[in-house]
Structure 1
Amino acid sequence: MGVVSDVSLDNREAGKVSFDKIIFNNVTFTDSSFHQIELTDVIFEKCDLSNVDFSYAIIHRTEFRNCKLVGTDLSQSTIMNVVFSHCMGNYATFRFAQFKQVIIHECSFQNADLYNSKLKKMSLLKTNIDQAQLAGVNLEGMDLSDCEFDGLGVEVEDLRGCIISREQAYVFANLFGLIVKD
């Protein structure tokens, strides 16, 4: 338990580290590697986690608030009961990750890669997911209606049962080569 504040921990490397009940406030971790990290009851507030390797992480009851996650690698991670709020996660990688009860609120995840990830009770609220890779992700029941995007990397079968807005229907029509006539 503790608080780490106003420090730079760039270019660090540690494997199989565990953090429990820690608050990181205004901490920079860029270009660091925390492969197989375990985070429980952790808060990241105004942190820069750009290009950090969190692959194979187990992240539980954790919040990312106003954080920079550009290029962060969370591939093969288990992410449960986590909130991402007002974060910049462009080009973040979540390939083969498992999400359960995750909220992503007012973030930018442009060009993020969620290829073949499993989503269970995940909410994307007012988030920019333009050009995100969602192929192999079952989007049934997922509400994307208030998300912003001009294109997505998806397969037709991934979209079955996905909830979108009327305006987004035009985007998907263009993706599938359809011509919409007014």
Structure 2
Amino acid sequence: MGTLFLVTAILGYWQYRTSKRQTEIADTDLDSKIVAQLDSPAIEVRVAGLVEMKRSIEREPNNSERVLEIVEAFIKRSSAIEARTSSSSTPPAPPLSVRRPDVQNALRVFSDLRQDASWGEVCDHIQREISLHFAPRPTFQLVDLSGADVRHGKFHLCDFQCSDLREANLSQASLLGCRLNGTNFKGSTFTYARLGQAYLLAAILDEAQLFGANFTMAVLAGASMKGADLRDCEFAGAYLEALTLRADWSDPELIHEDPLSLNYARRQVVQTAGALAREGLLFPRILQQGPTYPACDLRGADVRGADFSLAVLSGAVLTGARADQTTRWPQGFDPGSAGVIMT
């Protein structure tokens, strides 16, 4: 009996090792095949590669992390902004699905493969970033994704800083905790999007459709939201005042600050601006303003039904903004003195 048990155990272990090795070989072959397709000069071949990647996850869910890495790298290299200046003055390109259907498909695959994140999970990630000074994020800095259609997309904790997302459709997308500093969203749609704890310093949201979007604890200093539709938006804990960045972050009082405080956002902006400056990437909205960012610019915005009651709003530019009796303001705030038009 002892000999039979030993032989059975050895055979079982050998079968396990053989199966594992075959899976590893298959994974390697899959990676090689997909990478080859994504490197093809033909768009239809690249799109087919993306479709195959998604199917592979249905067959082998354990490959999801690897596939996400491949798709992230593909999006970055396929949509990198070549010009080292802000693109805010150039006319928007045709929709992404028209000019780069492969990148549009890649964004959808990336979103579909991610698990949605709760508010608590985003808070935990930010706390790890502070305590460990690093926590991995999907990074898409300096990319041209203008005209992208990523409705319902799961892009929480992604880094899209200094990118071009003009006229993109981000309706009901999860952008919780995203780094969006200096990103151009002019004319984009964010209906019911979740932007809680997002960093939007010097972001451009002029004429954006933001109906029902949630900006809880978002940082909007220096952001431009001229003519934006902000009806029914939530700004609890959002920071719209002018913001001066501090270069010295060794102050013990700041190190032990509440992880969800504005000091964390300030430090991240300092680091980002420093990295861009070292690389010679000159984006006027981020670098030329120096360490001080003006208050958020809401001139001409429609803020009917928006809730600013718990927002840090003093100094925000509201000249010509349209409000009504359903708009909620911080205690003691006088909308008339700020130039708000009551309708």
Could you say which TM-score interval applies, normalised by the shorter chain?
0.7 to 0.9
Q: Give, as a single letter, the amino acid of the residue that structure 2 aligns with 1:61.
A: L
1:28 maps onto 2:79 in alignment: yes
Q: Tell which deviates more after alignment, 114-123 or 53-62.
A: 114-123
Q: Does 1:165 align with 2:216?
A: no
TM-score normalised by L of structure 2: 0.43
5+ residue gaps, structure 1: none
- Residues 1:115 and 2:207 are matched in the alignment: no
Deviations 1:87-117 (A, max 9, x none): 1110111101122321112121101111012
% of aligned pairs identical? 18
Higher strand fraction (1 or 2): 1
Residues 65 and 159 from structure 1, CA distance in 2 versus in 1: closer, same or farther, beyond 3 angstroms?
closer
**Higher radius of gyration, 1 or 2:** 2
1:104 aligns with 2:200: yes
Q: Give the CA deviation at 1:75.
A: 0.3
Following TM superposition, by how much is the alpha carbon of 1:133 offset from its aligned partner in structure 2, in angstroms? 1.1
Higher share of residues assigned helix? 2
Q: CA deviation at 1:118?
A: 2.3
Give the unaligned 5+ runs of structure 2.
1-37, 55-63, 81-94, 98-103, 115-136, 242-294, 322-335
Distance 1:63 1:110, change over 3 A: same
> Helix, strand or coil for the counterpart of 2:215?
strand
Q: Equivalents in 2 of 1:74, 1:159: separation in Å?
A: 22
Q: What's the CA shift string for 1:27-83, capped at 9, x where partnerless?
A: 439522455724863211221111100101011221012211100111011122210
Aligned length: 173
Does the 8 A contact of 1:27 with 1:46 survive in 2?
no
Q: Give the structure-1-normalised TM-score.
A: 0.75
Structure 1 residues 158 and 93: alpha-carbon distance in aligned structure 2, compared to 1, 3 A threshold:
same
Between the aligned partners of 2:188 and 2:236, the Cα distance in structure 1 is 23
Contact 1:57–1:78 under 8 Å retained in 2: yes
Matched, 1:154 2:303: yes
Q: Which residue in the other structure is 1:56 paired with?
A: 152
Identify which of 150, 172, 190 aligns with 1:76: 172
Distance 1:57 1:122, change over 3 A: same
